[in-house]
Amino acid sequence: MKQTIRVTINGRLYEEEVEPRILLAHFLRETIGLTGTHVGCVIGECGACSILLDGKVVKSCLHFAVQADGREITTIEGLAKDGELNPVQEAFVKNYAFQCGYCTPGMVMTSHALLQKNPNPTEDEIRKALAGNLCMCTGYVQIVDAVKDAAKGMKNG
């Protein structure tokens, strides 16, 4: 039996009927059409599906869509404003912090959340925050550099 949920995604309110068992990651991709949230392992290990749920990083493969009812979601598509990349997105591009790009949305969302909470993280704090996100191409050095660069840019901007 389907259930109606109301959820705000990237500032827009959606009211949708969903099967109670549909994962939030699949809801975002297949129902809403926001394909920036990637589905990797589906067991919460890789972090490719990381989004912000009420401002907190969560792995959308570990949540059902019905659990988002009445809540606010930000996906990778929601970070850019008026066609301008978010400072974290800009830093990832500038620092070549992606190779295949599969992990990038989750890395960017996790990095963004870190910098919202801690605008001046140490390298150890960055690495700890990103520990739940895997990069199979081993671009970690560039990713950490991008987060450091974003932190500097956010202070200056």
Mean pLDDT of 116-129: 97
CA distances 5 to 2, 13, 17, 21, 59, Å, are 10, 10, 6, 13, 19
Q: Are 55 and 108 in contact (CB under 8 A)?
A: no
In this prediction, residues 4-18 reach a mean pLDDT of 98
Average pLDDT over residues 93-105: 94
pLDDT category at 157 given cuts 50, 70, 90 is low
* Stretch(es) of the chain classified as CATH 3.10.20.30: 3-78
The mean pLDDT value for 133-145 works out to 92
Q: How confident is the model at residue 156, as a pLDDT?
A: 60
Residue 84 has pLDDT above 80, yes or no: yes
User: Region 10-20: what's the mean pLDDT?
Assistant: 98
Q: CA nearest 34: which of 21, 45, 25?
A: 25
Q: Where in the chain is the domain with CATH 1.10.150.120?
A: 87-156
Q: Pick the range with the lowest mean pLDDT from 3-12, 75-84, 109-118, 146-155.
A: 146-155
Return the axis-axis angle of helices 140-156 and 104-117, rounded to nearest 10°.
40
Over 60: is that where the pLDDT of 127 sits? yes
pTM score, whole prediction: 0.94
pLDDT tens readout for residues 24-52: 999 999 999 999 999 999 899 999 999 99
* Domain 3-78 fold: Ubiquitin-like (UB roll) (3.10.20)
87-156 CATH:
1.10.150.120
- What is the predicted pLDDT for the residue at 79? 97
Per-residue model confidence (pLDDT) at position 139: 78
Q: pLDDT averaged over the chain?
A: 95
C-alpha to C-alpha distance for 39 and 117, rounded to whole angstroms: 26
